[in-house]
Structure 1
Amino acid sequence: MTAVPVSPDATAAVPVGEFRDLMSAFPSGVAVVTALDAEGAPHGLTCTSLSSVAVDPPTLLVCLNLRSGTLDAVRARCGFAVNLLHSDGKRAAEVFSSATPDRFSQVRWERSRQVGAPLLVEDAFATAECVVGDVLVVADHAIVIGRVVDIVQRTDDPLLYGFRRFSSWKL
């Protein structure tokens, strides 16, 4: 297959609102990405930009806003946790997507075994601890590649987000 060059006129960006509408029509699971900063303070944010990258070695990626304190903490400690929220985790998803100053005072959490990142023990049905493998900046976000070093998982119904609302996938 031969690549065909695309003319610069064909690559004009679509309006932001149209792109948001497109992505809202693609439901996904809801995660809270967490990390401790250099001083040991916890940071976290709600994230639906999560994907597996490779199985061997187990690797995933998350996309974090460049202005995020969570991204700063991930970079400072070179590690983070992905907390996959269960269907009753909507309140945690809302807390970590808000401007609430002390988000961690509103949830129960404990430090993870490998990288010390906060685990949302009551709101997550699965967690993955990751060591940062690479960070790639694209526009106003960073794609953070994480090598998974520990997983804790139990069976539960995942929390989903699509069409700008939360839902669950009942098993």
Structure 2
Amino acid sequence: MSTSNSVGEGQQDLSAHLKEAMRRLASSVAIVTSRDTDGQPHGMAASAVIPVSMDPPSMLVAVNRDAGLHPVLQRSRRYCINLLADDQHPLLKLFSQTALREQRFRSDDWRDAWTTGDGPLPWLDGAPAAIECEVDQTLDYGTHTLFVGRVVRVRCAPTETATGTSAPQPLVWLAGQRARLAAAA
């Protein structure tokens, strides 16, 4: 395997090479939601979401400190990870562009049925899974804060629908665009 960078390259070049490498890593896409102290919903699209441990059940979300959701998570210390289905891809535009912030939760697909702490967190009906967490630890690293949340509730969509069809494909991102998974032969 050849590399296009060498030891001693500038940090900016190394960051650009890492960004290019990460475009080659397929990842699921989620919308992370929370509520501010006034009860207003906030959210962002994220692919930097990973399970940390099954004992205790926990999830990590990496959030850029410039993101609008960052101060909300710092204060509320609660979030819901909504894993997206492929057919929910139009939500990415709403949750990726600041100018569209007011339109994010206008859909009838958002629910507030779970309650913990100060009130319900928005979760997306029809998402393959929604995972509610309470922040247990944070770590600032570079431009981001890593929020490690203890899982308090999980909602999973059925693996088969009422009509007998299988659950929708997960939304996968690769090389800056939507990708599709192929069934194994």
Please tell me the TM-score bracket, short chain as reference.
Answer: 0.7 to 0.9
- CA distance in 2 between counterparts of 1:27 and 1:130 reads 24
1:113 corresponds to which residue? Answer: 114
Instruction: Give the counterpart letter for 1:87 in structure 2.
Output: D
Number of equivalences: 162
The offset of 1:78, in angstroms, is 1.4
The offset of 1:17, in angstroms, is 2.6
Give the superposed CA RMSD: 1.9
Quick check: 90-99 or 77-86, which moved more? 90-99
Counterpart among 134, 144, 164 of residue 141 in structure 1 = 144
Q: Is the 8 A contact 1:58 1:147 kept in 2?
A: yes
Task: Report % sequence identity.
Answer: 27
Q: Is the 8 A contact 2:94 2:101 kept in 1?
A: no
The offset of 1:68, in angstroms, is 1.9
Higher strand share: 1
Q: Give the secondary structure class of the aligned counterpart of 2:11.
A: coil
2:164 corresponds to which residue? Answer: none
Q: Give CA-to-partner distance per residue, 1:6-50, whole Å, 9 cap, x none.
A: xxx758535233221111100100000000001001110000001
Which portions of structure 1, spanning 4 or more consecutive aligned residues, are displaced by more than 3 angstroms? 9-12
- CA distance in 2 between counterparts of 1:10 and 1:52 reads 34
Instruction: Trace 1:42-81 onto structure 2 (pairs within 5 A).
Output: 42-81=41-80
Quick check: 101-110 or 78-87, which moved more? 101-110
Q: Give the secondary structure class of the aligned counterpart of 2:139.
A: strand
Q: Is the 8 A contact 2:34 2:122 kept in 1?
A: yes
Q: Give CA-to-partner distance per residue, 1:33-74, whole Å, 9 cap, x none.
A: 000001001110000001111111101101001122212112
TM-score (norm 2): 0.80
Q: Give CA-to-partner distance per residue, 1:83-112, whole Å, 9 cap, x none.
A: 000110100122111121312124621125
- Structure 1 portions without partners, runs of 5+: 1-8
